[in-house]
Structures are given as C-alpha cells and as structure tokens.
C-alpha cells in the first residue's frame, strides 16, 4: 500500500502544475486542461484520504468532482469555440475587454 | 372678557339703565341688523370699482341702489326708537394685545339713528343729483366709487361703539374728502386745496388720536369701547386733570374735522371740489362728525374741569361770528355757503360748551342744518351748472329761467336765516334758549350771528336770482335728476323743524333718546327776539342789495375793511408766512441737505465698507476654499487615473493576484501558531 505522504506529495505537484498552467499558458484550451489538472489533484487527495480513513465518502465526493469537471469542460470548450469564431484566436491575452 | 360680557349682557344692561326713566322695549329687527347700513355702500363701492365702467349707468346705479337701501333701513332703525325701543349694542372681539381687547362692534341708539337718517338721506340726494351734475365727467365712475365709500365710512363712524373703529371710519372719510376735493386735479389750485384740507385736518386728528389713547388708558388698557371709558370716568378713580387733557385732545379732532378756528382755513378752499361733494361732505355729514364726536363722548367733557367746556364754547363763538362776517364779503356763491357752514357748525360747537341742554339743541341743529345746507349747496350747484361760473357777479335774474332752483333755494335760505316755521327757526330757537339759560354773552353773540346770517343769505339770494342777468350764455333749468333732490330736500326742510318743536312735544328728543331737559321749551320773547334779528338782517340785506349791480355796493362803502374780509383776516397769509413757508422751504431745504450729506454719507460709507470687506471675503473664498475643493477633486481624479492600470482586463493577472493572496494568507496562518 502506498503511504499517504507520497500521495499528498504527488497531489501537490499535480496541483502546482495545474496552477502554473492556468497562470502561465496563453492558449485557452491549455488553460482549461490545467484546470482539469488542478481538479484531478483534488481527486487524488480525496481518494488518498479515503484509503487512509477506510471510508467511501471521499470517493463519492471525487465522483461528483469528475461529473462537475466534465460539465465545466463542456461549457469552457463552448466558450472557446465562440471566442475563436469571433476573434480567430484563442489567445487569452487578447481577451481583455473588461478593463478601464 | 369684556367682549364676552358685551356680547351677552349689553342689551340687558342698557335696558336696565333705561328702565330708570322710561321703559324701553327691545330694539326691532332693523336696529339689531344696523350693521347692514354701513356695509351696503362699501359693497356698492366694490361693485362700482370692478364693474362700474361696464354697466349701463357707469356705476351710478349701484351707488344709488345701495344708499337708497341704506336709507330705507335707517328709517326702520329710527322707527325702532319712535316705538320706544332701547339701544342695541353688540361687539365681537377683533384681536387682543396683552390686556387690551380690541373689538369691532355696533352701538345703535337714538343718536346713531338720527345720524343714519342725515347721512343716508343727504347721500341719496347727492347720489341722484350727481347723475346730472357730473354727467359726462371723465372720472364719473371713480366719483361714484369715492362717494359710496365715503358714505360707508361716515356710517361706520356713527355706528361704532369703540374709538378704534371710529378712527378707522374717520380717516377713510378724510381720504375720500381729499380725493373728492381734488377730483378735478388737472388744475393745480384744486390739488393744492385737497392737500391743504388733508394736512389741516390731520393737525387736528393727531391730538384726537392721543385723546383716544388717553381714553383707553383710563380703562387701564383693557378696552377701547366708549362704555368702558365712560365707566372708568364714572368710577372717579381718574384724575380730573387727566380727563380734562383727554377731552381737550379729543376736541382737537373736532377743530380739524368741523373746521373750527384756528383750523377753519381748509373748508372754504375745499369748495373747489364738485358741488355735490361740498353738499354731502363739506356741509352735511363729514364736518358734522366733529360735533358728533364731542356729543358721543360728552361724558368725558362733563367730567373734565370746567375750562375744557369753556374752551369749546369760546372756540365756537369765535368761529361763529368770524365766519359769518367773512360770508358777507364773498363773491363766490360756494364760499358764501362755506363760511355759512363754518358759522353754523360753530353754533353747534359753542352750544356743546354750554352743557347737556346745549348738546341736545346742538344735535337738533346738526339734524336740521344738514338738510337745508345740503339743499342750498345743491341749489348753488344747479346755478353754477347753468351759468358756468361760481361768482355771483356773473349771475342775477335767474329767478325766471330757473324757477324750481329759485323756490327751493328760497326755502333753504329762509331756513338758514331762521324764519318761522322752517327747520332753521326751530333749531336756532332751541340753541338760543339753551344759551340764554346758562351763558348770556353767548346768547348775545348768537343773536348777532343770526342777524349776520340773515343778511348774507339775503345778499346771496338777491345777487343770484334778482335783477338783471350779467353772465354769459343763456341759463336754463337744471335737469330732472338735479331738481328732484332739490325738491325732496326742500320738503324735508319744511318738515323736520317740527320734529323738535316744543309745541309738537319735541319728539326728536324722545326718539334720539337724549335726556329731556326742561330748557327744551318755547320761550316767546326769545323766539321773538330771534325772529327780530333774522328780519333785521333780511331788511338790511334788502336795503343794500335790492338794486342789483355787478360790483358789490358794500365794497366801496366798507373800503379797507372789505379788503381785510376778502383776505379772510389775513389768517391764511399768516399761516403761509409763519408755518407753510418755513416748513416747506427752509425746513425742507435743511432736511434735504441733511439727507443728501449726512444720511447719504452714512449710507454710502457703510456701503463702501461692506464692499471692501466683501472683496476680502471673495478672495478667501476663491483662493482658499475653492482651491481646497478643487484640489481634492483633482487628487481623486489623478490617483484614479493611475490606479486604473491595475484593471488590466487580463483574467490571468487577476488569478495571479488571487494566488499570491492565498499564498500570503497561508503563510500567515501557518506561521501563526
């Protein structure tokens, strides 16, 4: 059995990779994928703790997160498509209408 | 409190008082609603003012109807007293100043009823007469408006039960008199006569006002009504000297309004006004208000020290003889009548100085005089209307072309001269009886005045109606609107004398509710000597003027005396030199200089100071306060301009900031334990 600290370490790395992706990538699809990374880091955490405390409740939460993430990706990709249609680009730096 | 008492108890109280002598029944409907009588002319005044020029009669109809209605109501009021009704008093509180209750009220007793009859009857005649006399006048409607308002004001004076209300009516009368004397103000002479009348009466009105204040002070500053003042005097707490001062101050109003010496100068000049005005205001009603004032407040005069009534008598005696002498030298027919009015009013004033009997006789003379003097003025107006001149040297021989005017004026003249059995005979006889009873010197002077009166009346009639016509054009009889009032007043002159005749029971004195003194009696030798004086005057007048010449024959015979008379004893010139010129020229020049240099200097200096100060304030305001406000705004704007770059619109930057925040907070909470 894998020990909890290893799981948490992995989860933290995964989350950090996601944060980096969200903050640093300019491609909107890549940003969405980075968000998926962060969500999955949470899922790993939940599953890790589920094994630790011998309870299935965290796993149920993980399933919910997967479902919500799927929906979120659906909406996100739709936005990206509309963005591309309007701007012929999916570079998030160019989406800066909400300023002074 | 007083108002409430008056409201509830005045009728009862007055009735109980009357019960001591004669049992008086309750006043009838007319007496209880007498307030309508002064109201009606005011209503017609308003109607004339607003609708006068748009109605067919140009407003005259309103005035005639209203005054006619007032006259009928006045007859109703008089009937109440003929039936033996008691007085009616009612007042409502107007407002309160400290302890002083100012009231508006009516006091209807016999005196009021008699004055009602005089005012409304003469006013009605004058209203009708003016239809003809003022026909085609450019301010016809305005004339009727002022006439109506005047009538209402005079009625307010006689109905009021307190001094303040009386003064209000009194002053409205003064204004109307001023407006009507100056009715033809295009000529400077007329407007200055109006000013003279107004200012001269004002000199008397100011003491009168202080007299009223003194009466209010006597009540302890609690009430303004006549009754309260009379009770306060009756309670004998008031010092005789104070009451005397009040009385003599009140008499100032009489001197001014009734044109007694030394303030008589305005009345002859007031004759430049339209003749109906002279008849109504300057012969029958307003000038009699001064006599009415003394009569109404006679308790004050009786309670005063004897010198007050002596002063009243002496002033009356001086005016009586002086004015009668002046009347014999006037060529202007209206001036003859004006001096005659002065003289007749002075009869009343002199008799007011005698005591209660004199007061009663004076009021009867006021009553009769109003009718025959109004008749004479209206007759003179008809003559003036026909010959377009006031001067008797431009008249003569008018007996034939103007029969109605001649006969009515003859009746009026005989009444004025005091010939049996006309109105003037009876009232003058009673005056003589009352004077003879107490003051022999006055009796003698009155006989002399009676002879003078008969003389100048004869002169007036002979120079106007007899001999050859020496004027211009062809005079003809006045229109019917003018002759009807003449005939009505002539009829009244024939009748009213008998109301006070002792043989007929002197019913006037019962109605008017004056005390019934034993001197109202017929003394044959006095009546005889009075008639003798009248006929002596007429005989001398006939002897002098029976052959009419354009130039007055007495002018040559009297020589320098005539000049003095023509110049009215130089009293007007004295006033001009001693009062008018110093005040008008020197005092006003001084006041003008003071105003220009001192007052204006102070005002201008204050203004310059204010300007300098405000300049400093303006600098502070613009520089410091506006600077602070503008600076704040600018700082806010500029800092906002700088901070706006934080809102880049780049979502990832926001996320970075969010993440940094989370990191800081995490570090904080982790390190905290």
Residue A100: band (very low, low, confident or very high) from pLDDT cuts 50, 70, 90: low
* Tokens 């508006």, residue located: B104
**B650 CB within 8 Å of a chain A CB:** yes
Q: Cα(first)–Cα(last) distance of chain A, in Å?
A: 55
Judge whether B198 and B205 are in contact, CB under 8 Å.
Answer: no
**B656 CB within 8 Å of a chain A CB:** yes
* Tokens 């962060």, residue located: A38
Kindly give the parts of chain B with pLDDT less than 70: 1-23, 236, 513-520, 672-673
pLDDT number for residue B4: 37
pLDDT number for residue A29: 92
pLDDT number for residue B17: 44
Q: Which residues of B touch A98 (CB under 8 A)?
A: 647, 649
More confident of the two residues A75 and B645 = A75
Nearest to A23 among B645, B647, B659 (CB): B659
Burial tier of B103 (Cβ tally within 10 Å: 0-12, 13-18, 19+): buried
Q: Which residue of chain B has the CA closest to A95? A: B650
Q: What is the DSSP string of B516-566?
A: --TT-S--HHHHHHHHHHHHHHHHHHHHHHSS--SS-HHHHHHTHHHHHHH
Per DSSP, B166 falls in state H
CB contact under 8 A, B652 and A23: yes
| Rounded-to-integer distance, Cα B278 and Cα B382, Å | 13
Q: What is the DSSP string of B16-79?
A: HHHHTTS--B---HHHHTTTHHHHHHHHHHHHHHHHGGGSTTTTHHHHHHHHHHHHHHHHHHHH
pLDDT number for residue B420: 80
Q: Read off the pTM.
A: 0.74
pLDDT, tens digit, 9 for 90 and up, residues B481-491: 888 999 999 99
**A80 CB within 8 Å of a chain B CB:** no
B560 in the Ramachandran plot: left (φ > 0), alpha (ψ -120 to 50) or beta?
Answer: alpha
Strand pairing partners for A86?
none
The alpha helices in B355-422, defined as continuous H runs, are 356-387, 403-417
Q: Residue B463: CB partners within 8 Å, gap ≥ 6? A: B392, B393, B395, B396, B545, B548, B552
Q: Which residues of B touch A31 (CB under 8 A)?
A: 652
pLDDT number for residue B490: 92
Q: Which residues of A touch B649 (CB under 8 A)?
A: 95-99
Tell whether the torsion through CA atoms of B542, B548, B550 and B555 is positive or negative.
Answer: negative
ipTM: 0.82
Judge whether A80 and A32 are in contact, CB under 8 Å.
Answer: yes
**A contact test, residue of B640, B651, B658 with most A CBs within 10 A:** B651
Helix (H, G, I), strand (E, B) or coil at A34: helix
pLDDT number for residue B10: 39
Residue A32: band (very low, low, confident or very high) from pLDDT cuts 50, 70, 90: very high
Size of interface A-B (CB pairs under 8 A): 29
Q: Which residue of chain B has the CA closest to A28? A: B652
Q: Which residue of chain B has the CA closest to A31? A: B652
Per DSSP, B331 falls in state -
Buried-exposed string B196-216: b where 16+ CB fall within 10 A, e elsewhere? bbbebbeebbebbbbbbebbb
């Amino acid at each position: 059995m894998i020990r909890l600290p290893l799981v948490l370490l992995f989860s933290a790395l995964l989350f950090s990779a996601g944060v980096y992706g969200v903050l640093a990538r300019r491609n909107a699809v890549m940003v969405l994928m980075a968000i998926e990374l962060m969500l999955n880091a949470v899922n790993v955490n939940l599953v890790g703790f589920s094994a630790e405390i011998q309870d299935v409740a965290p796993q149920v939460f993980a399933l919910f997160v997967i479902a919500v993430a799927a929906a979120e990706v659906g909406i996100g990709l739709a936005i990206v498509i509309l963005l591309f249609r309007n701007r012929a680009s999916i570079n998030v730096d160019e989406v800066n209408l909400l300023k002074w | 409190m007083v108002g409430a008492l008056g409201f509830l108890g005045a009728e009862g109280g007055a009735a109980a008082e009357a019960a001591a002598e004669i049992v008086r029944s309750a006043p009838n409907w007319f007496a209880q609603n007498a307030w309508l009588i002064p109201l009606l002319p005011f209503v017609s005044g308003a109607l004339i003012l607003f609708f006068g020029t748009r109605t067919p009669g140009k407003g005259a109809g309103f005035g005639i109807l209203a005054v006619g209605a007032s006259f009928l109501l006045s007859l109703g009021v008089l009937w109440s007293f003929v039936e033996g009704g008691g007085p009616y008093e009612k007042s409502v509180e107007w407002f309160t100043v400290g302890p002083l209750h100012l009231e508006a009220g009516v006091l209807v007793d016999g005196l009021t009823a008699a004055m009602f009859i005089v005012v409304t009857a003469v006013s009605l005649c004058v209203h009708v007469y003016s239809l003809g006399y003022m026909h085609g006048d450019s301010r016809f409607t305005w004339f009727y408006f002022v006439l109506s308002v005047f009538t209402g004001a005079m009625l307010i004076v006689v109905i009021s039960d307190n001094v303040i209300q009386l003064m209000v009516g009194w002053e409205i009368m003064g204004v109307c008199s001023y407006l009507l004397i100056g009715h033809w103000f295009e000529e400077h002479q007329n407007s200055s006569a109006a000013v003279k009348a107004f200012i001269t009466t004002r000199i008397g009105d100011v003491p009168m006002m202080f007299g009223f204040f003194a009466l209010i002070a006597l009540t302890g500053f609690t009430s303004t009504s006549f009754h309260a003042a009379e009770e306060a005097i009756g309670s004998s707490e008031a010092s005789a000297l104070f009451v005397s001062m009040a009385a003599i101050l009140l008499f100032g109003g009489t001197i001014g309004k009734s044109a007694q010496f030394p303030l008589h100068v305005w009345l002859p000049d007031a004759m430049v006004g339209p003749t109906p005005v002279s008849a109504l205001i300057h012969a029958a009603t307003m000038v009699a208000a001064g006599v009415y004032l003394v009569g109404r407040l006679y308790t004050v005069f009786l309670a005063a020290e004897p010198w007050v009534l002596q002063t009243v008598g002496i002033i009356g005696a001086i005016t009586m003889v002086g004015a009668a002498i002046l009347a014999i030298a006037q060529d202007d027919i209206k001036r003859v009548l004006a001096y005659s009015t002065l003289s007749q009013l002075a009869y009343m004033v002199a008799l007011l100085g005698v005591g209660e009997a004199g007061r009663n006789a004076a009021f009867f003379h006021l009553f009769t005089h109003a009718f025959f003097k109004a008749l004479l003025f209206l007759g003179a107006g008809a003559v003036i209307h026909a010959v377009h001149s006031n001067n008797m040297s431009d008249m003569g021989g008018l007996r034939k072309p103007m029969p109605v005017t001649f006969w009515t004026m003859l009746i009026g003249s005989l009444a004025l001269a005091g010939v049996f059995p006309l109105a003037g005979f009876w009232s003058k006889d009673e005056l003589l009886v009352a004077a003879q009873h107490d003051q022999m010197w006055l009796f003698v002077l009155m006989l002399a005045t009676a002879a003078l009166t008969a003389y100048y009346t004869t002169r007036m009639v002979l120079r106007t109606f007899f001999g050859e016509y020496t004027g211009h054009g062809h005079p003809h009889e006045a229109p019917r609107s003018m002759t009807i009032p003449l005939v009505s007043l002539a009829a009244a002159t024939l009748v009213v004398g008998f109301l006070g005749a002792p043989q007929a029971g002197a019913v006037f004195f019962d109605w008017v509710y004056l005390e019934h003194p034993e001197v109202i009696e017929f003394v044959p030798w006095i009546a005889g000597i009075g008639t003798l004086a009248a006929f002596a005057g007429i005989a001398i007048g006939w002897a002098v003027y029976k052959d009419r010449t354009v130039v007055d024959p007495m002018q040559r015979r009297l020589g320098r005396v005539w000049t003095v008379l023509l110049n009215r004893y130089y009293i007007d010139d004295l006033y001009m030199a001693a009062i008018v010129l110093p005040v008008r020229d020197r005092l006003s020049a001084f006041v003008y200089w003071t105003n220009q240099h001192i007052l204006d200097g102070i005002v201008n200096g204050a203004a310059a100071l204010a300007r300098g100060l405000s300049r400093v304030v303006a600098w502070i305001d613009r520089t410091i306060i506006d600077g602070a406000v503008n600076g704040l705004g600018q700082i806010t704007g500029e800092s906002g301009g700088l901070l706006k770059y934080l809102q880049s619109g780049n979502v990832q930057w926001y996320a970075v900031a969010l993440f940094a925040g989370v990191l800081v907070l995490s570090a904080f909470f982790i390190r905290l334990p």
